[in-house]
Amino acid sequence: MHEGIDLSAYQHANGGSIDYAAVKASGRSFAIVKVSDGLNTTVNPYSSQDISGFQGVGMQVAAYHFFQPNISGVDQATACLTVAQGLPVMLDAETGDPSLEVEQLRAFVATIQAANRKLLDYTNQSWFEVIGLLGDSILMADPSVTSPPPGFDAWQYAWQGIVPGITGYVDLDRWLDDISYQTFFGIHSVPSFMEVLMPVSDPNFAVRFLYRFCLHREVDPVGEAHYVGVLNQGGSLDSVMASLQDSPEGQAVIAAERKSLGLV
């Protein structure tokens, strides 16, 4: 099992900060950070700070999106991807009538998966009975039970948890299945394609290579410092490459390449 948290701007009440090292030292191995809500991509102004902070202490990190009814699932997923920084995504769907939202939820999931991102369903028993499994893994959000039903990969077991390093309450999560945990967070038991192609013996060289490969330019000092830090804390080359490709600059490069190849 793996212990973790999910959080939003609420955990930064009055502009408070998080001691990421203390969170990890408390036994937490993953954090799921809110990055978007409907079409709102600035709902959590601390998301980038928290993602970098948790990655910096070696925790697994995912982004989460709060789904709003009566809004295109494709549009919501597209908004989420602009701020998810190449991370796997948790879909928090709990507002509205699930029977009326299922098609837009499926559209959201398809858009996320088309971008090669793993997706975790955040649901409760009543929603699950209507929509079933949509993504790659599923989390039961219900602190009232002693354990989730069979088939759930993770469980949100407290809504008012206390964790060192965080002021106030925070949601507590437990990932029950190790295989789905590794799959969702992209923890490779064997080297990935990029790591076989270019072993990370020199993180600075690796980052410079990926900037040329993904963005067709030399790395800037800020970008180099950030991604070298990610690699030094155990991040993968694949995650760095995904982050660069998902950035506005990376998407512009991909669009230009597609145009030059006559694909658009």
* Count of other CB atoms within 10 angstroms of residue 8: 20
> What radius of gyration, in Å, describes the C-alpha atoms of the chain?
18
Which domain, by its residues, includes 171?
2-185
- Asked if 147 and 56 sit in the same domain, the reply is yes
Provide the domain count of the chain: 2
Task: For the chain, give the number of residues.
Answer: 264
Handedness of CA 71, 125, 92, 77 (dihedral sign): negative
* Residues 27-71 pLDDT 10s: 999 999 999 999 999 999 999 999 999 999 999 999 999 999 999
* Residues 131-166 pLDDT 10s: 888 888 888 888 988 888 878 899 999 988 899 999
Strand segments (E) across 58-101:
60-66, 89-92
Q: How far apart are CA 39 and CA 24, in angstroms?
A: 31
- Asked if 198 and 215 sit in the same domain, the reply is yes
Structure confidence at residue 193 (pLDDT):
60
Structure confidence at residue 219 (pLDDT):
92
Q: How far apart are CA 218 and CA 187, in angstroms?
A: 29
User: Under DSSP, is residue 62 helix (H, G, I), strand (E, B) or coil?
Assistant: strand
- Asked if 78 and 167 sit in the same domain, the reply is yes
CA atoms within 13 A on the CB side of 246: 22
- Asked if 210 and 94 sit in the same domain, the reply is no
30-55 burial, b if ≥16 CB within 10 A, otherwise e? bbbbbbbbbeebebbebbeebbbbbb
Q: How confident is the model at residue 3 (pLDDT cuts 50, 70, 90)?
A: very high
Q: How far apart are CA 54 and CA 185, in angstroms?
A: 14
* Residues 91-133 pLDDT 10s: 998 888 888 888 999 999 999 999 989 999 998 888 887 888 8
**Domain final residue pick, 146, 168, 185:** 185
Q: What is the CATH number of the domain that holds 53?
A: 3.20.20.80
Query: What is the distance of C-alpha 180 from the center of its chain?
Result: 15
* Residues 174-226 pLDDT 10s: 998 888 888 889 876 555 666 656 666 788 888 998 999 899 999 999 999 99
- Asked if 72 and 14 sit in the same domain, the reply is yes
- Asked if 79 and 202 sit in the same domain, the reply is no
**Domain final residue pick, 163, 185, 207:** 185
- Asked if 155 and 49 sit in the same domain, the reply is yes
DSSP secondary structure string, 205-255?
Answer: HHHHHHHHHHHSSPPPHHHHHHHHHHHHTT--HHHHHHHHHHSHHHHHHHH
Structure confidence at residue 66 (pLDDT):
96
* Count of other CB atoms within 10 angstroms of residue 79: 20
- Asked if 154 and 206 sit in the same domain, the reply is no
Q: How far apart are CA 100 and CA 183, in angstroms?
A: 30
User: Under DSSP, is residue 182 helix (H, G, I), strand (E, B) or coil?
Assistant: helix
- Asked if 45 and 69 sit in the same domain, the reply is yes
Residue 221 φ then ψ, to 5° = -60, -40
Residue 39 φ then ψ, to 5° = -100, 5
Residue 257 φ then ψ, to 5° = -65, -40
**Domain final residue pick, 152, 185, 218:** 185
- Asked if 125 and 226 sit in the same domain, the reply is no
Q: Strand 170-175 to strand 2-7: parallel, antiparallel, or no bridges (unpaired)?
A: antiparallel
- Asked if 174 and 62 sit in the same domain, the reply is yes
Structure confidence at residue 128 (pLDDT):
82
- Asked if 86 and 168 sit in the same domain, the reply is yes
